[in-house]
Amino acid sequence: MPSKNDVIVGSVLKSLREETGMTRGEFALHMGADPDFVCNVEDGSLPLRLDEVFDYSDALNLDVHDVLSQIAREVVC
């Protein structure tokens, strides 16, 4: 069962991806990852390592500090 924080992280990353207009498949291709990886991250069933947060941020063309700040705001609330 996914942890509450993994679900929050996945939800934030999904929202950020959706803001780009990319589908999961397009994003996975852009990121160089398997579409199942993106799906599992976004639904919270796969926790991310820190290096993967950097990869996700890069693929979103966002600064990792901004991504982590948004995640932190959601976790705290």
CA dihedral of residues 71, 72, 73, 77 (deg, nearest 10):
110
The pLDDT value recorded for residue 20 is: 94
Sign of CA dihedral 24, 15, 9, 31: positive
Across all residues in the chain, what is the average pLDDT? 94
- How many angstroms separate the CA atoms of 42 and 8, rounded? 9
In this prediction, residue 77 has a pLDDT band, given cuts at 50, 70 and 90, of low
Number of Cβ atoms within 10 Å of the Cβ of 16: 19
The pLDDT value recorded for residue 2 is: 81
- The answer to whether the predicted template modeling score (pTM) of the entire model surpasses 0.85 is yes
CB 59 within 8 A of CB 30: yes
The pLDDT value recorded for residue 21 is: 95
Options 1.10.260.40, 3.10.129.10, 1.10.10.10, 1.20.1300.10; CATH of 4-76: 1.10.260.40
- How many angstroms separate the CA atoms of 35 and 65, rounded? 25
- How many angstroms separate the CA atoms of 69 and 47, rounded? 17
* pLDDT for 47 beyond 90: yes
Mean pLDDT of 13-22: 96
Ranking 5-9, 10-14, 37-41, 72-76 by mean pLDDT, the lowest is 72-76
